[in-house]
Amino acid sequence: MENIDLVIILTTAFLGSFGHCIGMCGGIVVAYSSSKIDETDSYFRQTFAHLSYNLGRVTTYAFIGALFGLLGQALSFTPTTKGILFIITGLLMLLAGLSLLGKLNFLNKLEVSFSKYPWYQNIFRKLIGSKSFGSFYLLGVLNGMIPCGLVYSFAIMAATTASPLWGAVVMASFGLATIPALFFLGFVTKFLQQGTLRGTMMKIAALLVVFYGVFTLYKGYNFVANPEKMQAMMESMRETPKSGKCGGMKCAPGKCG
């Protein structure tokens, strides 16, 4: 995974969390903050409770990323199929970016709420009624299962890594970057929900998603148009750089020819 990928993932997720994630998950954060956390609780307990919840979300996202990375590994068996996977990802990212800008209804159609299902309601009620730290963590795990357009977009991105490990890293990075907005939501709810701030953050995040979509399409085109060249480049990147005949070790004078 290239450095630019990780930078865009972190930046987009962070900015998007102030708009899309607060709209999607903000209600749950406010709900558990008001019912599971008392005003008399120590600052340490409140902080650890919020962290437990968010780490639960990240755990689910990492698991999803590993699954999609495994799927990508199965599909990306040649440079051409890897290129096709990149192209599909790029198109989905473009659709997601245009949806975040309000130009399409793509994300809304994907985001089917689980809250109407009895199994989800039963588990949610049990967890919201408990004040143990474990219940905060499990509530985050449950929240991470809620279908979300941004989660779908980054999950597809995780598939392009063709690696369960790196797929998990992509999704875990996404989850970690969304923590600040949701973590401080209970303390600065009015500030984070201001229309102007959220609108600005969403526009910047959407433009980054569009940019990354175009960048991914370009990578996909290169893989499809020049499979041999891209395969050679990938193999050269996997090789350990060596210097001289001594395999990168510092040679004694006159020994390396």
**DSSP structure string for 165-183:** HHHHHHHHHHHHHTHHHHH
22-36 and 43-75 are packed helices; what angle lies between their axes, rounded to 10 degrees?
A: 140
Q: How confident is the model at residue 35 (pLDDT cuts 50, 70, 90)?
A: confident
245 located within any domain: no
User: Model confidence over 103-113: pLDDT tens digits?
Assistant: 777 666 666 66
The owner of tokens 């588990």 is: 123
81 located within any domain: yes
253 located within any domain: no
Alpha carbons 236 and 233: distance in angstroms, whole number: 5
Please say if the pLDDT value at position 64 is more than 80: yes
Q: Specify the pLDDT at position 3.
A: 56
Mean pLDDT of the chain: 75
23 located within any domain: yes
User: Model confidence over 51-61: pLDDT tens digits?
Assistant: 888 899 999 99
Average pLDDT in the 214-240 region? Answer: 75
252 located within any domain: no
**Which letter does DSSP use for residue 240 in this model?**
P
Q: Which range among 137-141, 157-161, 225-229 shows the weakest confidence by mean pLDDT?
A: 225-229
CA 134 and chain centroid, separation:
23
Q: Is the pTM of this model over 0.85?
A: no
- Collapse the DSSP code of 38 into the 3-class scheme (helix H, G, I; strand E, B; otherwise coil) and give the result: coil
Q: Name the domain count of the chain.
A: 1
Do 100 and 205 meet the contact criterion of CB atoms below 8 Å apart? yes
Q: Specify the pLDDT at position 192.
A: 47
**Exposure pattern of 4-43 as b/e (b: 16+ CB <10 Å)?**
ebeebbeebbbbbbbbbbbebbbebbeebbeebbeeeeee
Rg (CA), the chain: 22
Alpha carbons 204 and 19: distance in angstroms, whole number: 10
239 located within any domain: no
Half-sphere exposure of 99 (CA within 13 A, CB side): 20
241 located within any domain: no
User: Model confidence over 148-202: pLDDT tens digits?
Assistant: 777 877 888 888 888 999 999 999 998 898 888 777 765 554 444 445 555 676 6
Do 12 and 205 meet the contact criterion of CB atoms below 8 Å apart? yes
Structural domain boundaries enclosing 164: 3-34+44-228
Q: Specify the pLDDT at position 107.
A: 65
Two tokens, residue 215: 């960048």
